[in-house]
């Protein structure tokens, strides 16, 4: 039996929930490269390398989950991870000021690579946001994606929850192209 | 001395120690100190190392953390030094703690120096940097 292996990258700003998402989804003990934060980023540890986990979607179909740090000084990792992607998840932390500057930077980088990659935007830290503000955030993100000629789903996700995280994976699976 | 003065003094001492080591041997090609989460503190380098400092720091922290994860595959193992060998250069990445600031010292030597010699220089500097607070901070 020939096992197929697909690459899914999870990118997003500091604290968006990339490491948490991979930990929630992975069926193997994930590779984590956390270092103590030397600056105040609102949490004690931050990823400085890559997160890696793996999940079997079907018996003979494995997905490698690659978490990539968001700061542009780590863009040399983006280079490596962006090759041969099947799917791309942008995790965005809810921001009442709607400053989604970092997302623009990733979009510019990743989307010039391969237009056939299945993409979606997951809005995290959004479980307690009221409907009105949630819709506003979706609109902002959607128009940001449209300005990059991307029509991709945007939905709330809580990386701490298994169901919510699986929904992300299943959506990518329905959007993604698999080579025969 | 207040906190800020201590910080400045310590930073000056770190820079001076790195500079001295760099100048001590012409086969030392690059020395760079950054925090384990990838923020640049100080670097010295020859012209052959045409590298953006923030990128070097990000790479050092990533490489160190991946090497650490690799070392820890074996139970009870901890990482001391990560080494990268090329035809011309030996790179060493060392965990260096300065007070409660976790740092990575990156140290590159020409391969005219043996691995052991290069490692000796790198380790000596790492220990020196780790001991600087005791010398600089009163009491
Ligand atoms: N309330 C809430 N907390 C979340 C959510 N997603 C993640 N978190 C928490 O936010 C914190 C940061 O999550 P991480 O997974 O470390 O974030 P990251 O994207 O890997 O961050 P960096 O590695 O620093 O770039 C953790 O304590 C998570 O439990 C969410 O949707 N809601
Ligand atoms: Mg992380």
Tens digit of each residue's pLDDT, chain A (180 residues): 568 889 999 999 889 999 999 999 999 999 988 899 998 888 999 998 889 999 999 889 999 999 998 777 788 888 878 888 899 999 999 988 877 877 888 887 876 666 678 999 999 999 999 999 999 999 999 888 888 877 789 999 999 999 999 999 999 999 887 764
Contact A166, A57 (CB under 8 A): no
Residue B47 has pLDDT above 60, yes or no: yes
The ipTM assigned to this model is 0.73
Taking the centre of ligand 2 as the mean of its atom positions, its distance from the CA of residue B89, in whole angstroms, is 32
Tell me how far CA of residue A57 lies from CA of A64, A105, B77, in angstroms. Answer: 10, 30, 33
Give the dihedral of Cα atoms A125, A66, A55, A158; nearest 10 deg: 0
Domains of chain B, with CATH numbers? 3-136 (3.30.450.30)
Give the dihedral of Cα atoms A72, B48, B29, B41; nearest 10 deg: -30
The model's pTM is 0.85
Nearest CA in chain B to A70: B58
Tell me how far CA of residue B111 lies from CA of B83, B84, B87, in angstroms. Answer: 13, 11, 7
Burial class (CB within 10 angstroms; exposed 0-12, middle 13-18, buried 19+) of A161: middle
3-class DSSP state for residue A84? coil
Strand partners, B95: B104
Q: Does any ligand 1 atom lie closer than 6 A to the CB of residue A158? A: yes
Chain B residues inside the 8 Å CB shell of A35: 35-38, 61, 65, 102
Contact B94, B126 (CB under 8 A): yes
Point out the ligand nearest to the CA of residue A93.
1
Q: Does any ligand 1 atom lie closer than 6 A to the CB of residue A23? A: no
Q: Which atom of ligand 1 is nearest to the CA of A156?
A: 31
Q: What is the mean pLDDT of residues B10-37?
A: 96
E strand residue ranges, A15-173 = 34-36, 45-47, 51-58, 61-68, 87-93, 118-124, 154-156
Q: List the one residue out of A36, A58, A60, A62 whose CA is nearest residue A47.
A: A36
3-class DSSP state for residue B45? strand
Q: Does any ligand 1 atom lie closer than 6 A to the CB of residue A69? A: yes
3-class DSSP state for residue A165? helix
Q: List the one residue out of B126, B93, B111 whose CA is nearest residue B28.
A: B111
Chain A residues inside the 8 Å CB shell of B61: 35, 48-49
Q: CA A18, CA A47: separation in Å to the nearest integer? A: 9
Calculate what percentage of chain B has a pLDDT beyond 70.
99
Chain A residues inside the 8 Å CB shell of B65: 33-35, 48-49
Q: Which atom of ligand 1 is nearest to the CA of A126?
A: 31
């Amino acid at each position: 039996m020939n096992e197929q292996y697909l690459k899914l990258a999870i990118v997003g700003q500091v604290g968006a929930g990339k490491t948490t998402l991979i930990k929630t989804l992975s069926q193997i003990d994930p590779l984590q490269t956390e270092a103590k934060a030397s600056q105040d980023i609102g949490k004690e540890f931050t990823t400085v390398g890559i997160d890696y986990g793996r999940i079997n979607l079907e018996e003979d179909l494995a997905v490698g989950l690659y978490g990539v740090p968001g700061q542009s000084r780590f863009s040399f990792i983006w280079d490596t991870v962006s090759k041969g992607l099947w799917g791309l998840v942008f995790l965005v932390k809810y921001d009442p000021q709607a400053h989604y500057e970092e997302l623009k930077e990733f979009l510019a980088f990743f989307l010039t690579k391969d237009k056939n990659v299945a993409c979606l935007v997951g809005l995290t830290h959004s479980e307690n946001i009221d409907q009105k503000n949630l819709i506003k955030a979706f609109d902002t993100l959607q128009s940001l994606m449209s300005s990059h000629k991307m029509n991709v789903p945007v939905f709330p996700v809580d990386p701490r929850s298994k169901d919510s995280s699986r929904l992300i994976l299943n959506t990518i699976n329905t959007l993604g192209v698999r080579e025969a | 001395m207040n906190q800020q003065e201590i910080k400045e003094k310590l930073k000056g001492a770190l820079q001076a120690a790195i500079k001295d080591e760099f100048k001590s041997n012409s086969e030392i090609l690059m020395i760079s100190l950054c925090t384990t989460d990838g923020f640049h503190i100080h670097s010295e380098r020859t012209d052959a190392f045409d590298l953006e400092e923030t990128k070097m720091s990000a790479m050092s922290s990533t490489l160190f953390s991946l090497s650490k994860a690799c070392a820890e595959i074996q139970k009870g193992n901890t990482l001391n030094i990560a080494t990268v060998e090329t035809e011309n250069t030996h790179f060493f990445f060392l965990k260096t703690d300065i007070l409660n600031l976790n740092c990575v010292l990156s140290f590159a030597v020409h391969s005219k120096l043996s691995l052991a010699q290069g490692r000796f220089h790198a380790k000596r500097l790492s220990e020196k940097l780790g001991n600087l607070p005791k010398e600089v901070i009163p009491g």
